[in-house]
Structure 1
C-alpha cells in the first residue's frame, strides 16, 4: 500500500483525547476498530462508532471528512442497551418498532430475596447538540434532548467535561478539564455537584 492510499481519520474512544489514525482510504469501521484496539477482538466487540449522529455498521466505509473537533466517537457498549441504539434525527417524533418491547418493566430479585420493579428504559439516543451560546455536547441524551448517559460537554471558554449525565446534569463518574486541557476535577457528581 502506498502513502497515496492512506488517509487521516480522527477517532475518539470515550474517556480519551481524539487521535489521528492513518488508514487505507478503502477501510471500513471494523478496520478502524482493529487499528484503535490493536486487533483485540474483545475490545472491538465492546465498542461502537458514531459519526454525524449516525451509528455506521462495521462494514461501512470510514468517513473521510473527520477532524479533531468532529472525530468518529467510539462508545463502550452498555449491557443495558441490548446492542440497539436509536440515533436522533431532526424529526424527534420517529419511534422505532421495538419501542414497546424496550419500555417493558422487569422484576429483578435482589440478594435479600426482595423483589423490586425496575423500569428498563430504551437505549440512550446519541446526538450532537450545538447551543446558541457556543457550547457543544456530544453523546447520549434523553427524549428531551438533554445530556443523559455517557457524553462530553465542550464549553465555548475551552473547558470540557467527559463522563456520565442524568437529565442535563453531571451525575456519576466524570472528568472536568480546564481551558488549558489539564484535569481540574475527577470523581463522582450528583445532580451537577461534585461529591
Structure 2
C-alpha cells in the first residue's frame, strides 16, 4: 500500500520522484536530519536531527516531534529517555 507524502507547495503524492532534493530541505530549514522516514517533510520514524544551535536528538520521531526512545545531546551532555509529543517523560 502506498502512503501519501507531503511535499513543498502543499501537494501530496505517492511518487517519491516529486520530492524536493534532500539538500534543498536542509537549506530551507537551516538544519540537518539524517533519516529513514515514511514522511518527506515531517520527521517520522528513526532519525537524527541537529538544530542550528548545536543540539542533537537521535531516536524515534512521530509527525515531527520526538516520540519514543531517544537521546538528546546539549553542549556535550547526553540525556537518554522516552519522549512523547516532543517532551521527555522518563
Report the TM-score when normalising by structure 1.
Answer: 0.33
Higher relative contact order (CA closer than 8 Å, sequence separation 6+):
2
Gaps in structure 1 of 5+ consecutive residues: 1-91, 96-126
In the alignment, which residue of structure 2 is the partner of 1:190?
84
CA contact (8 A) 1:142 1:167 kept: no
Question: By how many angstroms is 1:161 displaced?
Answer: 0.2
Question: By how many angstroms is 1:138 displaced?
Answer: 1.1
| Alignment partner of 1:94 is 2:15 | yes
Q: Deviations over 1:104-125 (max 9, x none)?
A: xxxxxxxxxxxxxxxxxxxxxx
Question: By how many angstroms is 1:155 displaced?
Answer: 0.6
CA contact (8 A) 1:140 1:147 kept: no
Counterpart Cα distance in 2 of 1:161 and 1:131 = 19
Give the greater-gyration-radius structure (CA). Answer: 1
Counterpart Cα distance in 2 of 1:150 and 1:140 = 6
Mapping of residues 168-187 of structure 1, within 5 Å: 168-178=64-74, 180-183=75-78, 185-187=79-81
Provide the aligned length of Structure 1 versus Structure 2.
72
In the TM superposition, structure 1's runs of 4+ consecutive aligned residues that sit over 4 Å from their partners are none
Report the TM-score when normalising by structure 2.
Answer: 0.65
Gaps in structure 2 of 5+ consecutive residues: 1-12, 17-21
Q: Deviations over 1:10-34 (max 9, x none)?
A: xxxxxxxxxxxxxxxxxxxxxxxxx
Mapping of residues 1-195 of structure 1, within 5 Å: 93-94=14-15, 129-130=25-26, 132-178=28-74, 180-183=75-78, 185-195=79-89
